[in-house]
Amino acid sequence: MQDRTKELRQANETLREREAELTHVTRVMTLGELTASIAHEVNQPLAAIVTNGNACLRWLAGATPNLSEGRQAVERIIKDSYRASEVIARIRTLVKKTPPRSDWVDLNEVIVEVLALAQNEARRHRVSLNRQLKENLPLVRGDRVQLQQVVLNLIMNGLEAIARNKDGPRELSVSSEADDANNVTIAVRDSGEGLDPANLEHVFDAFYTTKPQGMGMGLAISRTIIQSHGGRLWATANTPKGAVFQFTLSTNHDKERR
């Protein structure tokens, strides 16, 4: 009996390790689709640094160096350096393979960070990104990187659905809400081609995909992540067209926030 219990424990541990590896690989693959956007987000502050560096040299090279303008140029260089560093830090965090954590997470911050990564991808597909975030949203307990992965996957899926849609509005919105039962709900609404009502649940099945080159793992892993956080992820039709993907997580105000 003890041997059987030990084997079962080892099997469960192996399963968790494999799930963690698959989650990490899927996250890295999603980031790979954002290579152009990431490069754009880094190149913007780098270009500004070069511009301000040259401006600073000109202010200092005059017969009477303009120290005030030179100082302001250096301050802008420092600010843009931090901007580039923050983008790289966000990418490193998402790429790095780490054990699951349980921290207090502000989902509004998660949404803002992910939207920053997806901004250029949205411009490429001529999609308008909107957000309606509830102020003072309660914190949730969970793994920040995994929750970023879920939001990123839902946004990328929405952008791709809109890209395949040739007519009508090209809008994607992300919203956050909280109810009286200590539940936080995040919704990603797109104006894409929509979902077949008969397949609303199948979209979360492993290897089920409507994309020509899709693996069919993103939504399955996203649902697993949300369920591991004690929440629920589901899909509905949007009005007048498109799809809505929502997940709900419970908050716990009895524990001290960190």
β-pair type (232-237, 243-250): antiparallel
Q: Is the pLDDT of residue 207 over 70?
A: no
* 63 and 148, same domain (yes or no): no
SS3 of residue 148 by DSSP: helix
pLDDT digits (tens, 9 = 90+) for 75-123: 999 988 877 887 777 677 666 666 677 889 999 999 998 888 888 888 8
Q: Identify the residue with better confidence: 31 or 236.
A: 236
Domain of residue 203, residue span:
100-250
pLDDT band at 5 (very low <50, low <70, confident <90, very high): confident
* 110 and 73, same domain (yes or no): no
* 80 and 186, same domain (yes or no): no
* 83 and 111, same domain (yes or no): no
d(CA 27, CA 15): 18
pLDDT digits (tens, 9 = 90+) for 15-28: 555 555 656 666 66
What pLDDT is attached to residue 258?
A: 38
* 89 and 107, same domain (yes or no): no
Contact 147, 229 (CB under 8 A): yes
* 106 and 229, same domain (yes or no): yes
Domain count, the chain: 2
Which of the 8 DSSP states describes residue 257? P
Residue 18 lies in a domain: no
pLDDT digits (tens, 9 = 90+) for 26-77: 666 666 666 666 676 677 788 889 998 999 998 898 888 898 989 999 999 9
Residue 142: count of CB within 10 angstroms of its CB: 24
* 222 and 112, same domain (yes or no): yes
What pLDDT is attached to residue 110?
A: 93
d(CA 28, CA 149): 10
* 88 and 106, same domain (yes or no): no
